[in-house]
């Protein structure tokens, strides 16, 4: 009779745990941090597509679609293991804990303050008839938890700020994440150094409202530092190759920040600005803190100092009161704007938001049609931006995967490129010449000077 080694017994007795993230880069950074609490001595981390004893889903509440995705994921994991323990954490878990707990198969729901204590709630992994809820009043989410991802060898998401003090009428994030607060400058530099020491070439700065960085840095509502102070400090890290700024509010993107990025060899010429509408009446109903003229000014200033900069934008279609004319105003505004791509969202009615009470709801089929039109405009914008880059030299950070015989990567100004697979290019920065756009929309790189 064959004996079972102690190592095999330990491996068989360890619960397998799998993580899945819905939503934004901030969620990804937090999932990665939470997953690092799971000591490999006691847990085996596996792919979300694999059988596991514990599945953790970090939820998003921005759109109705994110809600539907969550339910689909629960059904999926129960097919993989009907006895699996399913935990829901994150924004939707904070906003709608009872609704999540009532979903068949959900065993645990952790809100904004409890999600970072997930491992403390996993002593008993037996299935529950009704999910246990550990949530809080959002006013209690007034402390800061540092987070950053290390899962991708090429880039890391580094959280620098959390929460939001803005009162946009469509948004649930302040109710899901609480007040605006920031990590200390010292902690962020320390985390950036650790990321860099692991050989990761690019850091993406993320948060809910990162331009508000410095507020609540030491529990003080006044700004100890500014976002400009933060990027100036990060720019001094010698071995850090690239820093990318994620979405930043246009009213907080100052000329000083733009000018600093234009002169930096570390910060890349790529900005993502949430516009939401090109119609000023709609912007006022949304309670955004700018009008369309300010957005035009930001784009013009970026392009004046960085002509090859990539500029993306968020836009919402179908907001209450968005008439056909208001939508056309927004469409024409975007069509004439020198931006590179759009992220398009159809307005979703979210409970406990001011917008849900506004007059003039837009039918969902009209929202769908408008979304399709703007997605088409985005494709044209991206194509025009790519065509404008052809023939130019750029630095590409290549990724790790072999995708159908190709390796892909991004230039500093966010042009997605690919070249025939070469394992020596993985996680390397290469100066290349952009040759042509292929049939799948990538920019082909055919350059014999690639260093291997």
Assess whether 34 and 101 both reside in one domain.
yes
Sequence-distant (6+) residues with CB within 8 A of 129 are none
> Both 80 and 125 in a single domain?
yes
Residues 114, 147, single domain; the answer is: no
Instruction: State pLDDT tens for residues 226-248.
Output: 999 999 999 999 999 999 999 99
Q: How many independent structural domains does the chain possess?
A: 3
In a domain, 379, yes or no: no
Q: Note the pLDDT tens digit of each residue in 311-351.
A: 999 999 999 999 999 999 999 999 999 999 999 999 999 98
Instruction: Calculate the average pLDDT of the chain.
Output: 92
Query: Do 14 and 125 fall within a single domain?
Result: yes
416 vs 359: CA distance, rounded Å: 42
| C-alpha count within 13 angstroms, C-beta hemisphere, residue 452 | 7
Strand pairing category for 416-420 and 406-411: antiparallel
Given 246, 268, 290, the domain boundary residue is 268
* Mean pLDDT computed over 109-114: 92
Q: Are residues 158 and 263 in the same domain?
A: yes
> Measured between alpha carbons, how far is 187 from 167 in angstroms, rounded to an integer?
29
Contacts of 247 (CB under 8 A, 6+ apart): 210, 272, 273, 274, 314
Query: How big is the chain by its Cα radius of gyration, in Å?
Result: 23
- CATH code, domain with 264: 3.30.750.210
Which of 88, 115, 136 terminates a domain? The answer is 136
In this structure, are 113 and 73 located in the same domain? yes
**122 in the same domain as 181:** no
Determine the structural domain holding residue 254 and report its residue range.
142-268
Question: Which residue shows structure tokens 């529950």?
Answer: 128
Lowest mean pLDDT among 64-73, 297-306, 396-405: 64-73
Angle at 163 between CA 158 and CA 169, to 5 degrees: 130
Whether 145 shows a pLDDT value over 80: the answer reads yes
The Cα-based distances of 225 to 71, 186, 208, 263 in angstroms read 41, 11, 17, 21
């Amino acid at each position: 009779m064959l004996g079972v080694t102690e190592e095999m017994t330990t491996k068989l007795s360890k619960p397998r745990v799998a993580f899945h993230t819905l939503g934004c880069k901030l969620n990804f950074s937090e999932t990665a941090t939470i997953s690092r609490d799971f000591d490999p001595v006691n847990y085996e981390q596996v792919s979300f597509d694999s059988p596991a004893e514990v599945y953790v889903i970090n939820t998003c509440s921005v759109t109705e679609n994110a809600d539907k995705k969550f339910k689909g994921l629960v059904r999926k994991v129960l097919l993989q293991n009907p006895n699996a323990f399913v935990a829901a954490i994150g924004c939707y878990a904070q906003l709608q804990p009872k609704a999540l707990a009532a979903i068949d198969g959900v065993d645990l729901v952790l809100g904004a303050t409890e999600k970072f204590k997930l491992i403390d709630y996993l002593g008993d992994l037996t299935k529950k008839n009704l999910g246990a809820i550990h949530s809080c009043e959002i006013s209690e989410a007034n402390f800061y938890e540092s987070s950053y991802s290390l899962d991708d060898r090429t880039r890391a998401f580094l959280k620098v700020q959390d929460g939001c003090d803005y009162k946009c009428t469509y948004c649930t994030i302040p109710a899901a994440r609480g007040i605006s607060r920031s990590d200390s400058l010292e902690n962020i530099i320390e985390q950036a150094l650790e990321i860099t020491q692991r050989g990761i070439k690019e850091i993406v700065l993320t948060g809910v409202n990162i331009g508000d960085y410095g507020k609540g840095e030491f529990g003080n509502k006044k700004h100890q530092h500014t976002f400009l102070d933060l990027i100036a400090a990060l720019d001094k890290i010698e071995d850090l190759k690239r820093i990318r700024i994620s979405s930043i509010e246009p009213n907080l993107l100052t000329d000083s920040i733009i000018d600093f990025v234009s002169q930096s060899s570390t910060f890349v010429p790529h900005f993502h600005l949430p516009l939401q509408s090109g119609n000023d009446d709609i912007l006022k109903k949304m309670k955004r803190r700018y009008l369309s003229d300010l957005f035009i000014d930001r784009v013009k200033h970026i392009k004046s100092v960085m002509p090859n900069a990539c500029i993306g934008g968020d836009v919402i279609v179908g907001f209450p009161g968005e008439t056909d004319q208001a939508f056309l105003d927004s469409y024409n505004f975007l069509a004439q704007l020198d931006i590179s791509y759009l992220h398009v969202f159809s307005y979703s009615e979210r409970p406990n938001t001011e917008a849900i009470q506004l007059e003039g709801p837009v039918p969902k089929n009209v929202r769908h049609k408008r979304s399709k039109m703007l997605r088409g405009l985005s494709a044209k914008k991206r194509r025009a931006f790519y065509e404008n880059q052809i023939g130019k030299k750029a630095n590409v950070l290549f990724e790790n995967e072999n995708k159908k015989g190709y390796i892909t990567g991004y230039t500093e100004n966010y042009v997605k490129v690919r070249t025939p697979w070469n394992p020596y290019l993985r996680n390397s920065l290469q100066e290349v010449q952009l040759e042509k756009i292929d049939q799948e929309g990538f920019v082909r790189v055919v350059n014999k000077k690639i260093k291997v």
